[in-house]
Amino acid sequence: MKNGSRDLLVLSKSEFIGPDDFANEVAQLNLLLHRAENFRNYCIANELIDLNRSKIIRSQHLMQQAIKDRLHKPFVFICNKN
């Protein structure tokens, strides 16, 4: 099994799972999480609140640009939409 850049805790009810099956399960979890944790989905789930310009940015393109360019500006916040 390859070492990834994340820590996973995998709990299984089955006591008789083999090492190959376990490695396959972890690989599938990594693939699922990789698809869910991309930058596009991050921009869909969050919005950018810019208090300097009194604006809320929800557009994916504008949000990606703002995060890359202006992340270090004061009073610019990333807020989850939930």
pLDDT mean across residues, the chain: 84
> What DSSP letter does each residue of 24-47 carry, written as one string?
HHHHHHHHHHHHHTSHHHHHHHEE
> Confidence band (pLDDT; 50, 70, 90) for 71?
low
pTM above 0.75, yes or no: no
Residue 2 lies in a domain: no
Residue 44 lies in a domain: yes
Residue 39 has what pLDDT?
Answer: 86
Number of structural domains the chain divides into: 2
For residues 64 and 47, membership in a common domain is answered with yes
Q: Which domain holds residue 14?
A: 7-37
> Confidence band (pLDDT; 50, 70, 90) for 54?
very high
Rounded-to-integer distance, Cα 33 and Cα 50, Å: 29
User: Is-contact 52 76, C-beta < 8 A?
Assistant: yes
For residues 27 and 13, membership in a common domain is answered with yes
In single-letter form, the type of residue at position 55 comes to K
pLDDT at 3 over 60: no
pLDDT at 40 over 90: no
